[in-house]
Amino acid sequence: MLADHYAVWRIENPQLMISNTVTQERAEAIMGELIFSAIRAELGQLEFDEIINEDETSSRGSFNELVRDRVNEALERNQYGIVLTDVRMKRTDLPQENEEAVYSRMISERHATAQEYLSQGDAEANRIQSNTDREVTEILATANADANEIVGEGEAEAARIYNESFGRDTEFYQLYRTLESYETTIGDDTVIVLPSNSPYARILMGFTE
């Protein structure tokens, strides 16, 4: 990772700076080493997405403050008489030889994440469909059971009414049952041989008395 940055620092205690750094060139070298070390340490704590995200509300937003605090701790600890007042990342780039590999990895990771979301969505859709099918089956089973119960009750009530009605007139009941048997036994080409005095034949011939 190539990190282009700038820093602003001031000499807070000239005597300490001269005593511990000797020259301005040496002070600048020390500041460069401390800032580079702090930037490298803080970059190691971030994901690549956070590094390239320049939004101040992201982890990158607090990065500059963390670097500044880390450098100032080292400056105070070594009594260099210098304070880092500001440090900013201007841009971050990948080395040319690594850029393609990193972006390919990022694309693969995004694809894997998308596939995971799709799989989760399919699983949830299947679960909902399964629950719906089960509920529909239960509703249909209940409805069929209720319908069968109603039909059974209706048939029982009809039979009761028939029995009650026919019980009052047994001759009419016998006539009704005979007519019903004609419907089930005699077709268009049916031939039946019966004695002329058979009650069954008398009704066919129009004699009901």
Among 8-17, 32-41, 60-69, whose mean pLDDT is lowest?
Answer: 60-69
pTM value surpassing 0.75:
no
Q: CA-CA distance, 174 to 40, in Å (whole number)?
A: 109
- More confident site: 22 or 200: 22
Name residues whose C-beta falls within 8 Å of residue 9's C-beta, 6 or more positions apart in sequence. 31, 82, 83, 84, 85
Answer whether residue 56 shows pLDDT above 60.
no
Q: Which CATH superfamily is 2-93 part of?
A: Band 7 domain (3.30.479.30)
**SS3 of residue 14 by DSSP:** helix
Among 13-22, 44-53, 143-152, whose mean pLDDT is lowest?
Answer: 44-53
Residue 44's pLDDT is what?
Answer: 78
101-117 pLDDT, tens digit per residue, is: 666 777 888 888 888 88
Domain ranges, ordered by start, for the chain: 2-93, 95-153, 169-204
Residue 187's pLDDT is what?
Answer: 64
Residues 156, 161, 164, CA angle at the centre, nearest 5°? 120
